[in-house]
Structure 1
Amino acid sequence: MTVRKSVPGSIRRVLLALLGVVAAFPAQAVMESDSTTGRINAEITTPVAVTEATDMSFGWMAQPASPGTALLTPANRIVSSGLALMTIDGASSAKIVISGTPNQTVGLLIDNIANFGNGARTVSVSSFTHDGGTSPALGPDGKATIDLGATLHLSANTQNGRYRGAFDIIVSNN
């Protein structure tokens, strides 16, 4: 035998009211919405380019009896430490021309060290510098001319001859 107790009417009404309130929340949450507008940006720019205008030359120097260096500045000055320079006139800093969007700044990266040679013999150049500052700026015409310098390292009794080589220059849009 099962005994049932009836729920008084006032409690039943409270329970039904609570059930109605609880049932209304999910429906209301689904019905609520919000929106926003996303933004899109694109900037079109002239790709940056670099060309060599003048080769770097350390000029003529006597065969060293001991190791030495020749510092060539971007301003076309050469300073020797332990090397006998034959003529100052033969030295010239490299010159590059960077082109791109007028008045933009660019990134400039130059090899830290380069080895170049004469057959099996090599010498090294390091500490490349330039006169363009930390972020070279292109002019109103979209161009900048940058002078480059570096340090040449020679060991004692470096073999006579003409030494030739290359170094990498990388420019990028900022």
Structure 2
Amino acid sequence: MIGTSHKIGLAALALAAPLSALAQASGAATATAEAAILDPGTVVKTADMNFGQIAKPASAGTVVLVPTASATCNVTGGLVRTGTCQPAEFTVMGQKQGRVRMREQNGGIITLLGPGGATMQVTNITLSTTDLTPINGAGGWNLGRHEITSNNGTARFRIGGTLHVNANQQGGAYNGTLQLEVNFN
């Protein structure tokens, strides 16, 4: 399909060019086409967690990221926050009625590292799902055991949490890593 679209575009250019230009012009172009085939039992990250931009606070506060499809970030302590509010989002690919167990492996705390060694922490890690239904038997899997309910075997889950911002928090970008384990059975 990419080749077909490309040829149509070249034909339109040739018709618009003067006849003398057609006699002198020649060229070639290429394009690549890509696809990835994912096996059942695959997890793909579709978005990173983002708490937005926060004005340097005089007093401590929190940003609570509620991980729904239309995420919200609620602030406490008089924090001023703007910009993106995005939970970490993942797609699982399995089969209808397939079982998925999930756990975060940060011990319930994601540490964000900023300039000069400054840190902030994310706690109260929370989960929301689309096309996943909780079932019994989580057994140590702190984000639970779920069954895929979509006919095509794909489902989504989102992770949020509470960002703790210290009084006079050092300005700059802060980054950390959320580690997850997803088991299909």
TM-score (norm 2): 0.63
Q: CA deviation at 1:64?
A: 1.5
Partners in 2 of 1:85 and 1:169 — Cα distance? Answer: 30
Q: Which runs of 4+ in 1 moved over 6 A?
A: none
Runs (5+) with no aligned partner, structure 2: 1-38, 135-143
Match of 1:20 in 2: none
Partners in 1 of 2:160 and 2:78 — Cα distance? Answer: 17
The worse-fitting range, judged by mean Cα deviation, of 67-76 and 140-149 is 140-149
Runs (5+) with no aligned partner, structure 1: 1-45
Please show how residues 61-72 of structure 1 align to structure 2 within 5 Å: 61-72=54-65
User: Is residue 160 of structure 1 aligned with residue 168 of structure 2?
Assistant: no
Partners in 2 of 1:113 and 1:93 — Cα distance? Answer: 15
Partners in 2 of 1:86 and 1:135 — Cα distance? Answer: 34
Partners in 1 of 2:168 and 2:44 — Cα distance? Answer: 35
Partners in 2 of 1:66 and 1:92 — Cα distance? Answer: 24
User: Is residue 129 of structure 1 aligned with residue 140 of structure 2?
Assistant: no
Partners in 1 of 2:169 and 2:73 — Cα distance? Answer: 19
Instruction: Judge conservation of contact 1:137–1:144 (CA < 8 Å) in 2.
Output: no
Q: Tell me which amino acid in the other structure corresponds to 1:130.
A: L
Q: CA deviation at 1:135?
A: 2.8
Q: CA deviation at 1:131?
A: 1.0
Match of 1:48 in 2: 41
CA RMSD of aligned residues (A): 1.8
Superposed CA deviations along residues 24-62 of structure 1, whole A, max 9, x for unmatched, are xxxxxxxxxxxxxxxxxxxxxx76222210111000111
Partners in 2 of 1:164 and 1:69 — Cα distance? Answer: 16
Please show how residues 1-174 of structure 1 align to structure 2 within 5 Å: 48-75=41-68, 76-87=71-82, 89-110=83-104, 111=106, 112-119=108-115, 120-132=117-129, 133=134, 134-138=144-148, 139-174=150-185
TM-score (norm 1): 0.67
